[in-house]
Chain A
Amino acid sequence: MTVTDAPPAAAAVGGTVLEASGVTMRFGGLLAVNNVNLTVREGEIVGLIGPNGAGKTTFFNCLTGLYKPTSGQVRFAGVPRKAPKPPKRKRVKKAPSAAAVDAVTVAVQVPSLPKLSPLPPKPRAVVRAGMARTFQNIRLFANMTALENVMVGRYSRTSAGAITSVLRGPKFRREEAATRARAQELLDFVGLGKSTEHLARNMPYGDQRRLEIARALATDPKLILLDEPTAGMNPQETKQAMDLIFKIRDLGLSVVVIEHDMRFIFTLCDRVLCLVRGETLVEGTPGEVQSDPRVIEAYIGSGEDDDEDDDGPQDVVEEAKP
């Protein structure tokens, strides 16, 4: 992988990748997400903040097809659901992800972005379409090795069926080797290249988070959703995570990230959306959001259900100011 250390701010923003309009999710009497709009463009890092229970994770679940929103629509411009011609599919498979980088940097190629279309109905189809995620409470395959975890992520981009697997022809072996190589490459990319054979459950917390990101990247996404990727990390690990997210963005991916760590969000994101009690409170650039008095107020106001170990409300916002 050719990853150049591009300056964080210089993001090449392209066409619209994701467009959620009026997303509403109701659990019985509880309105967890209420009429939220979100647009994510190519190569953009969008932050999602809000006090505990604001509905951030629920909104993510709506975006990835895990929940079917009560109302509203999510449209996504990923990989076309069905490749029109077989040769094209082959090319997609063989082309290394470096091609994705070019797609971003070469402005002419931006129109090649497919049209927005409604989200496919199943989470699996959403992954195929090019959206991947991590979980707030890490959900790795605990008894598999790091490498195997990432290899599972390749599932939707490989095709060996039962008969191929039993016969073990050259095609099977080639695909298996490619899967392994790609998984190793991704582990190197997130900085776990030395932990290939380690069991996921034995890995330190920070490594598990990074492994989850590698697994999500293995699905060749256009858009990656990270649910609190630095929760429980120490400052140094948080810094590494930030660099990693920039690196991912520089591959040409769009990123949506939920975080409680305000400094992290305001340094990282091009745009920030603040949810409170399921509704959009503010949306704008980090500068706009952190200076908005309503955000500070929201964090103070929802004090009763704030976790103790969360960063305190207003001083964090204050601190994050340049």
Chain B
Amino acid sequence: MTDVQTETPAAPEVAVAPKANPVAWPLGLAGVVLVIVGSFLSWSYDGTILNDLSIDFFPGGLQILAIVIAVLSLVLLLAAKGPLAALGSWLDATLGLRTFGTGLVLYMALVLVAISVESEGLINVNPGGYVTLVGALLIAVSGWLLPLRQLRNMKAAKLPGWVDILAIAVLMGSLLFLAAYALGLEDAWSFILCLVFIATAATGLFRTGAMSWVAQAGQRNRKVLTLASFAVAFLFPFTQDGSDANMSIATSVLVFAATAMGLNIVVGLAGLLDLGYIAFLGSGAYVAATLSQSAFATIGWKPPFLVVVLVGALVAMLLGLVIGSPTLRVSGDYLAIVTLGFGEIFRFAMFNLDGNNGPNLTNGPNGIPGIPDLELFGFNFGAVHHPFGIELGRFSNYYFLLLILTGGVILVFSRLNNSRIGRGWVAIREDEKAAEAMGVNVFGLKLLAFAVGAFLAGLAGTIKAHQDGAVSPDQYIFLESAFLLAAIVLGGMGTIAGVLLGATILKLLPEKLRFFSEYRLLLFGITLVLMMRFRPEGLVASRRRQLEFHEDDEHLAEVVENELVEEAK
């Protein structure tokens, strides 16, 4: 291809093999062998902890994870020198080995700690554990001894189209498998270790450059990527054997993610700080509750759910317009304060509309319990269904509905983002005065973001009411708004993948790690402060936001520009 021309200057450097430490490579190989052998041996004397790591030649789940890392390291070793050398000119084997080695050492150290904490002392660690630890150390050392090499540009790699698709499929498949596996882990230690494994594998893949290639492949086949992601999300309930425990977590993650994605339109796209967003979710939920068949519902009108959805969303949107129209003309700080106040007013209003002061709409602090399950087109969301002979419980039903909702919100988000309106929002964030002077309807666009955000939250609220079966004022406190915002900041403002990731992390971790829930505010606070300091654009950075946060990073601007020019071709 034409890229050959740009390639030529780099090519000679590739040919010059840097001087390698002669022991580095054999050391790595020995490490891999030790890890694999060690993982087939027993790690723990006690078979009741960490899902049983006590049987020789029958590796438990955590041992298999170690083997996976070892195999990945082996691939990198063979890419550095050996049969896969062709791969080695593209992949950064050295950086990858360092990450895998270091990660695996950390992993094994934690395993040893876990065993000694869970069953009285290091004495319960069997030799296999130590063998694996030594193997891990050897891989790490070999990684640090191997020289860094000049690599060819991954983007110039021209592979047939099906390789792209295959890579996406493999990635998504592993994602589904890992999610199912991690959620299936009952004890906190296993869960943490699994997280360490995921972090190690992901960082390693990033450092080798494999991930950026996959990301490119995703860019090239965006439709395939989107479809694959939804397929994975859709298949998830089928991996749960009808168990509702994880599905209940998954549904609450989805409600949270859909709401965060709505808020992402307001915060990430239009750049408005809304601290009372949860009130819009609440108004949708309260509308659904008061119009439901519940014995405690306060309004006699019982329209079909599709009407309720529309009413809930419209009521939320109306509230959004009422709050937005006077405040969006003033600067950002006022908006933050007014929305904060609005969130509290909403909660107090729901608390006090109990018939003592004013009409009885909400039953005050008791809320409205006993909201029946949804029934749409003859499909009862409360019942257990058996499609393809696989049992799907109540939460799975809601999960599918929420998945459609989340998909819808993502669709609205991305389509608005890539349109005249999205460009207007960016222009407003960049320079409000100049945008106005170029004919952009600044106020109108801000109000639009506010209204669309509120509409989507209201819509989500109506479903949430039925899924929870009850509404009460204390579900809609300021902390919830703060968490929504935290999910966006942590994940990456203005991105889809980032906010989904942020929402998942923020909702999933406290559910899985109960012991940590006491410190969760502290930990989130620290995490956010660190993020703001070191990576303000979030885990998954939107290109534009990254540029905005690093106004004077010339190098970044160059890199982004090259990507843009590349994409335009």
- Name A residues whose Cβ lies closer than 8 Å to a Cβ of B: 64, 66, 122-124, 127-128, 132-133, 135, 139-145, 148, 151-158, 160-162, 165-166, 168, 172, 175-176, 179, 196-199, 201-202, 215-216, 219
Contacts and interface: CB of A to CB of B under 8 A. Distances in A.
B437 A160 contact: no
A168 B414 CA distance: 12
B419 interface: yes
A199 B561 contact: yes
Contacts of A153: 438-439
A155 B561 contact: no
B438 A165 contact: no
B416 A165 contact: yes
A141 B431 contact: yes
Interface in B281-301: none
Contacts of B436: 122-124
B129 to A, nearest CB: 51
B415 A139 contact: no
Interface stretch (B79-87, B133-141, B422-430): B422-430
10 tightest Cβ-Cβ pairs between the two chains A and B:
A156-B439, A127-B439, A165-B419, A141-B430, A139-B434, A143-B547, A197-B564, A197-B568, A152-B427, A197-B565
A126 B45 CA distance: 80
Interface stretch (B355-363, B440-448, B484-492): B440-448
A137 to B, nearest CB: 11
B557 interface: yes
B438 A199 contact: no
Contacts of A155: 420, 423-424, 427, 438-441
Contacts of A128: 439
B509 interface: no
B441 A124 contact: yes
B198 interface: no
A199 B430 contact: no
Interface string B532-569: 00000000000010011001000001101100110110
Nearest to B417: A165
Contacts of B321: none
16 contacts: A64-B437, A66-B433, A123-B437, A133-B437, A135-B434, A139-B437, A148-B426, A153-B438, A155-B441, A156-B438, A158-B420, A166-B411, A166-B416, A197-B561, A199-B561, A219-B438
A215 B427 CA distance: 12
A142 B556 CA distance: 14
Contact of B452 (A144, A148, A162, A196): A162
B442, B544, B548, B557 — which one has the most chain A CB atoms within 10 A of its CB?
Answer: B557
Contact of A127 (B437, B548, B567): B437
B435 interface: yes
A198 B564 CA distance: 8
B336 interface: no
Contacts of B424: 152, 155
Nearest to B444: A124
B437 to A, nearest CB: 5
B497 interface: no
Contact of A215 (B430, B438, B558): B438
A176 B416 CA distance: 13
Contacts of B557: 199, 201-202
B415 A165 contact: yes
Given A133-B437, A152-B424, A166 B412 contact: yes
Interface in B371-392: none
Contact of A199 (B421, B426, B547): B547
* Interface of B, helix, strand, loop or mixed by DSSP: helix
Contact of B431 (A132, A139, A160, A197): A139
A120 to B, nearest CB: 12
Nearest to B435: A152
Contacts of B427: 141, 144, 152, 155
Interface of B: 411-412, 415-416, 419-424, 426-427, 430-431, 433-442, 448, 452, 544, 547-548, 551, 557-558, 560-561, 564-565, 567-568
Given A155-B420, A202-B557, A143 B434 contact: no
Nearest to A151: B423
B441 A168 contact: no
Contacts of A161: 421
Contacts of A168: 415
A166 B419 CA distance: 9
B430 A144 contact: yes
B550 to A, nearest CB: 10
Given A64-B437, A152-B440, A199-B561, 7 more contacts: A124-B436, A143-B544, A144-B544, A152-B435, A156-B440, A197-B568, A199-B557
Nearest to B552: A201
B545 to A, nearest CB: 9
A123 B435 CA distance: 10
B92 to A, nearest CB: 28
A281 B127 CA distance: 96
Contacts of A165: 415-416, 419-422
A144 B426 contact: yes
A143 B548 contact: yes
Given A66-B437, A128-B439, A153-B438, A160 B561 contact: no
Nearest to B433: A139
B19 to A, nearest CB: 38
A78 to B, nearest CB: 12
Nearest to B448: A162
Given A124-B440, A135-B434, A198 B423 contact: no
B187 to A, nearest CB: 45
Contact of B558 (A124, A140, A154, A202): A202
Contacts of A199: 547, 557, 560-561, 564
Nearest to A164: B419
A247 B431 CA distance: 29
Given A160-B421, A179-B420, A166 B415 contact: yes
A140 B551 CA distance: 14
Q: Which of B427, B435, B448, B568 has the most CB of A within 10 A?
A: B427
Count chain B CB atoms within 10 A of each CB in A148, A155, A176, A215 and give the residue with the most: A155
B421 A148 contact: no
Given A127-B438, A197-B568, A148 B433 contact: no
A19 B427 CA distance: 31
Contacts of B551: 142
A167 to B, nearest CB: 8
B447 to A, nearest CB: 11
A142 B552 CA distance: 11
Contacts of A201: 547, 557
Nearest to B421: A165
Contacts of A142: 430-431, 551
A95 to B, nearest CB: 19
A165 B560 CA distance: 26
A172 to B, nearest CB: 7
A164 B139 CA distance: 56
Given A124-B439, A153-B438, A198 B430 contact: no
A64 B433 CA distance: 12
